Amino acid sequence: MEISAEQLELITEHALRDAPNECCGLIAVKEGVVTRVLPAENEAHSPLRFEISGKALLQLIDSIEDEGEELGAIYHSHTRSAPYPSQTDINFAAGWPGIEWLIVGTATDVPEVRSYLIDGGEVTDVPVAIAG
C-alpha cells in the first residue's frame, strides 16, 4: 500500500488529537494506492482499545465501495505502547483477512507509524511506502 506524506500526516494528527484515547479509522485504496483516509470515532473512548460502531463501519465501507475503492487498511493508535499489534488487535484481525493494520505509536515524543498484515495470528511487518 502506497500512502502520501499528507495522508500519513492526517492519520498522525488524528492520533495526537484523540490522545490519550486511541484513534481509529479506515484507509481506502485503488490499485494499492491510498485514495482516502476515513477517520472514525472510537466508541470505546479508551486509551487501551478502539471500537468503531457497526453503523459507522457499514457507512464507511459503503462509501469505499460506492467510490470503486477497496478497504486497504484499518488504522488506530497505541497511546501507551509501541506500534505493534496487541493480542486484542491480533484477535480482531482474524475477521479482516488481507487487510493491513496501520498503527501509530504516540507513547514517545515522536509518533511512530508501522504497518502489519495479520494472518492466522501471525504478524508480518509491512513497510510503509511513502508516495513520491
Sorted by where each starts, the structural domains of the chain and their CATH numbers stand as 2-130 (3.40.140.10)
Residue 108 pLDDT > 80: yes
| Three-class secondary structure of residue 60 per DSSP | helix
pTM over 0.95: yes
Distances (CA, A) of 26 to 18, 29, 52, 70, 108: 16, 10, 10, 10, 24
User: Given this model, what pLDDT does residue 40 score?
Assistant: 98
Q: Which three cell numbers stand for residue 35?
A: 485514495
CA angle 132, 10, 20 (to 5 degrees): 140
Q: Are 52 and 24 in contact (CB under 8 A)?
A: yes
Q: How confident is the model at residue 96 (pLDDT cuts 50, 70, 90)?
A: very high
